[in-house]
A and B are shown apart, each in its own frame.
Chain A
Amino acid sequence: MSRTLILGGALSVLVVLAALTSFIWTPFEHTAMNIPAKLQTPNGTHWFGTDHFGRDMFSMIMVGARTSIAVAFVAVGIGIGLGVPLGLWAAARQGGWVDEVIMRGNDLIFAFPSLVIAILITAIFGAGAINAIIAIGIFNIPVFARVTRGGALPIWAREFILAARVAGKGAARISYEHVLPNIANLLIVQATIQFSLGILAEAALSYVGLGAQPPTPSWGRMLADAQTLVSIAPHMALVPGFAIILTVLGLNLLGDGLRDALDPKLRVAGV
C-alpha cells in the first residue's frame, strides 16, 4: 500500500469515526450555550475552543461531520444511481440517437454554472439539507454519466465484448456482466472525488445560509458565524476551515491512492 493511500484512508476514517461517535458521545452538548465561556481559544476543557455563544466547537465539529458526510454521500448516490446507467446506455448505443441525446443533455447540465443553480434551487424551494443534496446531486449525474461512458467505450471495443455478442448476449446484459466490472475502479475513484467536491459544495451552501438549517450544525455555517468575529476570534474560522481541508484532502488522497492501487497496468509494473 502506498503512503498516499494510507494517509488518505486514515484521514477519511478519522472523519467518519468522529461523525459516528457523535451519535453516542460528544464532550459537550453541541447546542448548549454558555455565554460566560464564549470565544475561548482552544484549551484543556474546550479542545477546539468555544464560539460566540460559548458552545463547544469540538462537539460542533463532530456533529457537523455528520451533516457534511450525509449530504455528500447521498449526492454521490444520486450521481451514481442515475449517471452510471445513463453512461452505460449511451456507450452501448455509441453514435446512435440515444447516445446523442444523453450526451447533449449532459453537456447542457455542464453548461449551467453549478453553484448558481444550486443557490437558485435552494433559494426557491427553501434552504435545507434535502434541497442542498438534490442541488449537488443533480450535477453529479452528468459527471458519472460521462466517466462511465468514457470508460465503457474502450471496453466495448475489446474483443471479449464481440465474443459475448457471438454468444448471443444483448447490450444490457453485456453492460452489466462485462462492462461494469471493468470500470468499477474508475467509478470508485470518481466517487471519492465527487464526495470531496460534495463536502466543499455543502460547506459553500451552508456558508451562504442555504444549506442545513439551525439547529443542525454544519461546518459551512460555523464559518459564516466566524466571519464577523474573525479579527477577535480567529480560531472560530480556523477550526472548521481545517476540518474541511483535512476531510477533502483525505478523500482526494484516498482517491489518488485507490487509483494507483486499482490500476492493473501499474500493478503489473510493480510486480
Chain B
Amino acid sequence: MLRYTLKRLLSLMISLAIASLVIFAVIEVAPGDPASFMLGINAQEDTLAALRAELGLDQSKLQRYLGWVAGMLQGDFGTSYQYRTPVAQMIGDRLWVSLPLAIYALTLSTLIAFPAGIYAAARRGKAGDIGVMGATQIGVAIPNFWFAMMLVLVFAINLRWFSAGGFAGWDKGTFAALKSLTLPAIALALPQAAILARVMRSALLDVMGEDFMRTARAKGLTRAQALRRHGLRNAMIPVLTILGLQLSFLLAGGIIIEQVFYLPGLGRLIFQSISARDLIVVESVTMLLVFAVIVVNFLVDLAYAAVDPRLRART
C-alpha cells in the first residue's frame, strides 16, 4: 500500500511539473504586454521599463518560470499587475466561495445520484428504471448555465425564495452564506447527478452479471442482500472515477455558474483578470485549479486501493 501510494505521489509530482510548464508557456506566448496594458497607450518608454523591472518582466523566461514555481512552493503567487495586491490573498478570498460551492454541489449530486442509480439498477427494465433513466437523459442534455437561469427565474424572480445573485459572505452566518450558494449548487449538481446516476446504474448492472453474485445467491442471500453486501463495493470502482472527475469539473465548472449568479469566486476572478491582462493572476488561478484536479485524481487512486485489494498488491 505504501509503495502504491509513493508511486502515485511520484506521478502526481511529474504531472504538476509538466502542467506548470505548459501553463507558463501558454501565458508566455499570449500577445500583449502587461506593462503597456496597465499604463495605457500614452506611457513613456522609461516608465514602462521601470514597471517591467518592477514586475520582473525584464528577466529571462527561465528565471521567471523558476521564480514563479519557487514562489508558489512557498505560498507566494506573486503580485497582481492590476491591483498590486498579493495574488495569494486574492485567491484565498475567492476560494472561500468556489470550494464550498463545489463541495456543496458534489454532496447534492451524490445524494441524488446514488439512490437513483441503485433504485434504477434494482428495478432494471421496469417502469421505475425507465423513468429514472429518462430523467437522467434529459439531465445530461441540460446546459448548467441555462438551468441556472431557469432556477433564478422561478425561485428568485417569481417565488422570491432566494436572491437572484451575489454572495452573502460567511460573516453573515453560515446559513445566509449557504443559502446564497444553494441555487448555484443545484444548477451545478443536477446535470452532474444525472451522469453519476447513469454510471452507478450501469456499474451495478455489470456487477450483477458477475459469477460471484451467483455464488452469493447460491449461499442463500436475497437479491437485495447480494447487491448490498457484494455488489456495491465492486461497483464503486467506476463510480469513484466519475466522482473524481466531477469534483474537478465542479471546481472549474463553477466558473460559468459564478457568472450567472455574480458570485465572487475563482471563475469571476479569472474572467476579470483575463480582460485586464492580469496574467500572473490567470496563471496562478489556472495552476491552482490544475493542482486541485491532480490532487483529487491522486485521492481517487488511493480510494481505489482502499476499495480493491488487488490494486494494493500490484505495484
Contacts and interface: CB of A to CB of B under 8 A. Distances in A.
A–B in direct contact per CB < 8 Å:
yes
Contacts of B27: 124
Interface string B222-237: 0000000000000000
B157 A111 contact: no
B253 A241 contact: no
Contacts of A44: none
A159 B143 CA distance: 45
Contact of A112 (B31, B137, B290): B290
Interface of A: 104, 107-108, 110-117, 119-121, 123-125, 196, 200, 203-204, 207-208, 223, 226-227, 230-231, 234, 237, 240-241, 244-246, 248-249, 252-253
A207 B282 contact: no
B185 interface: no
Given A237-B153, A241-B143, 10 more contacts: A113-B293, A117-B286, A123-B275, A230-B157, A231-B157, A237-B146, A237-B149, A240-B146, A246-B141, A249-B141
A6 to B, nearest CB: 15
A123 B31 CA distance: 11
Contact of A120 (B145, B149, B157, B286): B286
Nearest to A8: B137
27 contacts: A107-B15, A108-B15, A111-B15, A111-B294, A112-B290, A113-B248, A113-B252, A116-B252, A116-B286, A119-B270, A119-B271, A121-B26, A123-B275, A123-B282, A124-B27, A124-B29, A124-B31, A124-B274, A204-B145, A223-B149, A226-B149, A240-B146, A241-B142, A241-B150, A245-B146, A249-B137, A249-B138
Which secondary structure dominates where chain A touches chain B? helix
Contacts of B11: 104
Nearest to B292: A113
B141, B248, B253, B270 — most chain A CB neighbours (10 Å): B141
A113 B290 contact: yes
Contact of A204 (B18, B137, B143, B153): B143
A123 B285 CA distance: 14
B8 to A, nearest CB: 12
Contacts of A113: 248-249, 251-253, 289-290, 293
B140 A252 contact: yes
A204 B258 CA distance: 13
B24 to A, nearest CB: 12
Given A196-B141, A207-B145, A119 B26 contact: no
B255 A116 contact: yes
B73 interface: no
